[in-house]
Amino acid sequence: MKIFLVNPPFKTEYGKFSRDQRSPAITKSGTLYYPTWLACATGVLEEAGHECKFLDCCAKLLNIKTTIEIIKEFEPNIVVINTSTPSIYSDGEFAEKIKEVLPDTITVFVGTHPSALPEETLTKFPSVDIIARREYEYTLRELAEKLETNEDISSVLGISYRNGKNEIVNTADRPFIENLDELPFVSKVYKEHGVDPKDYFFAAAEFPMMMIFTGRGCPNNCFFCVYPQTFHGRMAYRLRSPENVVEEIEYILQNFPELKSLGFEDDTFTADLERTKNICRLIIEKGLEKKINWWVNARVTLDFDTMLLMKQAGCRLLIAGFESGNQQVLNNMHKGIKVDWSKKYVENAKKAGLLIHGCFMVGNPGETPETMEETFQLALQLNTDTAQFFPLMVYPGTDAYKWARKNDYLVTEDYSKWITEDGLHNCVISLPGISNKELVEFCDKARKRYYIRANYIFSKIKQFITYPAERKRLFKAGKRFIKFLLKKDE
């Protein structure tokens, strides 16, 4: 079959919409994630013998009209559309446009939002024929096989669709993929479909960069994190073997020599310490640490010795969810860490020579103006290389969303309001004593207070002068970010 897999256009006039990050939006720093899930599915379908076209419209800033023309020319039997909560209405309209020019083409939605709300999604968007829920690579493969031979699709696990009576049918969930080594390298799909790394950006990473995954699932219980709760499981923690991971690094080095940095976009790369160490040892054994640096999401429980080995293996950056400076708020969000651990983590990371991107969040259960200020003071004390401040984002399918609905904290159920008119992150919850606007304003001011400090600015100038490899990302991120930092408060 001919299958078109697309990360569709969205608000192209404002910038690149990062649909695949944990909180989809057009970001202030210009960050754009690779569509790794869509790429992996493309590889699986191609290995099964299907003719596929993979297109990331957000990376290329393609508009709807141009994209529809490209799809129409390909004449696919199936169009797989990547979607998210903030873009769901836009993506539904996109499916309508496809149906207008290719009425017999099957449209399939994939992503966290339709996985969490399949019945609502199919009801709201009649131009969407099928939803492939959760991890969808093998679901799409089986679905394509059934459609190609005109077989009944009711036996395909992990889909939602309308039957002949226009009733919504949800088949049983597909078991999570256990052997991740069987999956194709997403980097190979990037290469074969002409993906240009210069179209993507992560403000804390050297430019140009690439993102891949080495594991799925997360053994932790943070009540806000969308992917483990709606997509690949909390306790179904599965990992690629060290040998398989390093083999992909070698493929990347051979095929993308221009890359400076590589991101392992697992929720918690270091959850299995022995595997982490084995990956590092293999990288060192093969001498790959001299050819590219890398970054990971690493929980604040990570020990100094492992940090040191990671640094030796080429790790440059740790991304850590410190979230709050108040212990009770951390407990309320089921973060499972202590404030003192965050302080020790940063101390150890700096000692090991690793940069840190710190993540801070306000608006969780038990939040007050005082606890929000505690969080900011912790950020100042940790003084990480980069930091982000966000209000709590509540996405359907998460405990955070259920908590917000139960307590009538949601200020809207219009998913388009999850971002602002120009595509930036928004906040849709108001707490007792703290409105959604106040949560956003606090984060905006915290960002300015953090970055517009004399010693921080001096440290960035010093970094720019001392480390030539950092210049591209500092200039690229700073040029876009500064207009938000200097924007007058309304």
Q: What Å distances lie between residue 280 and 37, 310, 403, 486, CA to CA?
A: 25, 6, 40, 41
Instruction: List pLDDT tens digits, range 26-60.
Output: 998 889 999 999 999 999 999 999 999 999 999 99
Helices and strands: H and E segment counts in the chain: 19, 15
pLDDT at 457: 73
Single-letter amino acid, residue 456: Y
pLDDT at 409: 98
Residues of the chain with confidence (pLDDT) below 70? 458, 460, 462-490
pLDDT at 490: 41
Instruction: List pLDDT tens digits, range 71-109.
Output: 999 999 999 999 999 999 999 999 999 999 999 999 999
Q: HSE on the CB side for 397, CA within 13 Å?
A: 24
pLDDT at 279: 98
Spatial contact of 410 and 245, defined as CB atoms under 8 Å apart = no
Instruction: List pLDDT tens digits, range 422-466.
Output: 999 999 999 999 999 999 999 999 999 999 887 787 676 766 666
| Cβ contacts of 287 within 8 Å, gap of 6 or more | none
pLDDT at 465: 67
